[in-house]
Amino acid sequence: MPEAGTTDDPAAPSTSAPRLPRTGNPATDLAVALLAGFVRAGVRHIVVSPGSRSQALALAAAELERNGSARLHVRIDERVGGFVALGVGRETGVPAVVLTTSGTATANLHPAVLEAHEAGVPLIVVTADRPAELRGIRSNQTTRQVGLFGDVVRLARDVPAPAGGEDELAEANVLALAAVRAAVGADDADPGPVHLNVAFREPLSVAVPPVDRIEAESAPTVAGPAALGRETVTLTTGPRTVVIAGADAGAAAEEFARAAGAPLLAEVSSGARFGPNLVVAYRELLRDDAFGGRVQRAVVFGHPTLSREVPALLTRDDVEVIVVAPSGAEFYNPGRRARVVGGIVAPTDLDLRSPEVRAWVGSWVFGSRRLVEAAERAADPAAVAPDVDKARSYDPADALAFAKAELAAVRAPITRSVLAEALWRYTWPHDRLVIGASRLIRDADRIVPGKRIRVHANRGLSGIDGTIATATGIALASRAAADEGPAGITRVLLGDLTLLHDVGALLGMTGETRPNVQLVVGNDSGGTIFDALEVAGTASAEAFDRVLYTPHSVDIASLARAYGCEHRVVRTKGELDQALSAPPLGLSIVEVPLER
């Protein structure tokens, strides 16, 4: 990476410091200069958690909100703040800046930093610290913040306490630009987290004078796979190929599958779950020798995490594995023998209308459809759609039969599959769907059909922490970007433990408008995802429940009321459809009781 202050990107903001008011307080002047530099480099969202040592940064952020330069979001819990910033980066591809005080506050950012690293999401954390003379003497609220996040950050700087020198503002501007470039992967094509640890001496701040609105200049663009030495290759014809799309694969996976005449095995969080080559029941077909047993080559996009069948395929000696990784210091490679490329092109001599290609793709697509339809019938044999022809009939018996069938469909109980399908069906292209790391994401992955919508999930580390906060960041960013288009709703499909793990994210701050977020909670009073573990059949039921299933008796309605959220319980398909079709404004919770 170039030294801070140097860049060969013609679209990057100037490294010269803008004219900013001087207060004579080194902490305040540096804070204003640093945050102004972030805004000029393209940052639009700043997340603040309150604290004494970071007060100059927080007050500078408030001034940038006042003059319209940036959007400010205040969160009491630093862990929540970190994931809100992560959600912004997920949605926009541009880092949000999260500001914290010193001490344990910095450690609370670690989960979001790790997820940003593994998922390649841009994120900038700025932690306030004591000056050098107060470190290592047990000064209150002081710990070893330098190097706290190890080697997972793309850039780390320990900024000495400002002393009011003439060159400090220019250096802060240069550092801000370098941080944004590192976070978006402008220099090494590897987006991710950045850590700036900034020391401040007392007096820690003064009132921030009015600052003129700062306009964002063109944000740096990702350098591309060439920066990592990864070539773009053209696939050869011949081997029977499947395309696997894991989390964050994006539309490129679907485009390539179509161009290559290959079945598309796209996870629900891939952003590629649509198109004519989509195979929904890929798990079952991979286990079938007539399908999975015939695969000779697999092309992988994104980060597959939702099945055991995919890694089993990729570790077979008779399967050639090509991983498309245009960025990332790490890449998905369960067999440790994949060929890693920066980009891939479909075979140039492939005839997509040939009988061989059509038979290969068609067998997977139609095989999947048969399995999905059979699974739906087996799950609910009575769930037959009302006969529309009877509704048009003049025969009273037909009309009565239609009415009874329609009423039965409305009153049908909600299963996990029904819940997942309903969320998918009610999400439109201008909406966002966030799926937590619970049993429900796997249920959705097994059944939902193709649909081109924006789906987010923290699958970098597949943790349940920060799901609501991440969704809030996504909603804030998508609403901010909807000024020229329709503003949708962000729906979140999550389990009860995922909700409880991030309950602090329900807190709305005075002076901030809550984004439209609808939390749909499948409540089975514990972690039923662990029931699928092999040990569930041999362990003591009492021990298993206590340390894995972890039952609880939380009243979610009371919880919602305490945080000022609308809440309703739905138990039938009709009630669920009604709740999803007319969500209230702001943050709301739909609770769906489920059997274990």
- CB neighbourhood size of 138 (10 A): 7
Place of tokens 């940003």: 116
Section 4-23 average pLDDT? 63
DSSP 503: G
Characterize 356-379 residue by residue with b for buried, 16 or more Cβ atoms within 10 angstroms of its Cβ, and e for exposed: ebeebbebbeebbeebbeeeeeee
Rounded to whole angstroms, the Cα distance separating 368 from 90 reads 31
Q: Given this model, what pLDDT does residue 106 score?
A: 96
- The Cα-based distances of 104 to 50, 78, 140, 204, 505 in angstroms read 13, 9, 11, 19, 18
- Tally Cβ neighbours within 10 Å of residue 494: 24
- pLDDT score recorded for residue 259: 97
Length of the chain: 596
Both structure tokens of 268: 């629900």
Alpha-carbon distance of 304 to 284, in angstroms, equals 16
Across the range 186-201, mean pLDDT stands at: 91
Weakest-pLDDT range from 185-199, 299-313, 579-593: 185-199
- Please give the pLDDT value at position 14: 63
Q: What residues pair up with 343 in beta bridges, in sequence order?
A: 232
Assess whether pLDDT exceeds 80 at residue 341.
Answer: yes
Please list the residues that pair with 344 across neighbouring strands: 233
- Burial pattern 416-433, b for ≥16 Cβ within 10 A else e, equals bbbbbbbbbebbeeebbb
Q: What are the pLDDT digits (tens) for 396-445?
A: 776 666 666 666 667 789 999 999 999 999 999 999 999 999 899 999 99
281 pLDDT exceeds 70? yes
Q: What value, to the nearest 5°, has the Cα angle with vertex 331 and ends 94 and 474?
A: 30
Give the pLDDT band of residue 252 (cuts 50, 70, 90). very high
CA separation for the pair 596, 594 (Å, rounded) = 6
Q: How far apart are the first and last CA of the chain?
A: 51
Instruction: Express each pLDDT in 342-399 by its tens digit.
Output: 999 999 999 999 999 999 999 999 999 999 988 877 766 545 556 666 666 777 776 6
Alpha-carbon span 579 to 571, nearest angstrom? 11
Contact yes or no for 417/447 (Cβ under 8 A)? yes
Q: How far is the C-alpha of 485 from the C-alpha of 490, rounded, in Å?
A: 15
Domains in the chain, ordered, with CATH? 26-222 (3.40.50.970), 226-367 (3.40.50.1220), 372-409 (no CATH), 415-593 (3.40.50.970)
Which range has the worst mean pLDDT, 449-453, 537-541, 560-564? 537-541
Residue 13's pLDDT is what? 64
Q: Is the confidence at residue 483, as pLDDT, over 70?
A: no
Contact indicator for 524, 595 with CB cutoff of 8 Å: yes
Residue closest to 89 by CA, chosen among 505, 595, 470, 548? 470
- The predicted structure's pLDDT at residue 68: 96
The pLDDT score that the predictor gives to residue 1 is: 36
* pLDDT confidence bin for 136, thresholds 50/70/90: confident
How much is the average pLDDT of 312-337? Answer: 92
Per the CB < 8 A criterion, the answer to whether 253 and 245 are in contact is yes
Letter for the amino acid at 108?
A: N
Query: pTM for the complete prediction?
Result: 0.92
pLDDT at 102 over 60: yes
Instruction: Calculate the alpha carbon distances from 289 to 219, 293, 294 in Å.
Output: 49, 4, 7
Q: Is the pLDDT of residue 93 over 80?
A: yes
3-state secondary structure of 245: strand
The neighbour count for residue 212, using CB atoms within 10 Å, is 12
* Mean pLDDT for the stretch of residues 298-325: 97
Strand partners, 98: 47, 125
pLDDT value, residue 380? 61
pLDDT above 90 (res 105): yes
* C-alpha atoms less than 13 angstroms from C-alpha of 291 in its C-beta half-sphere: 22
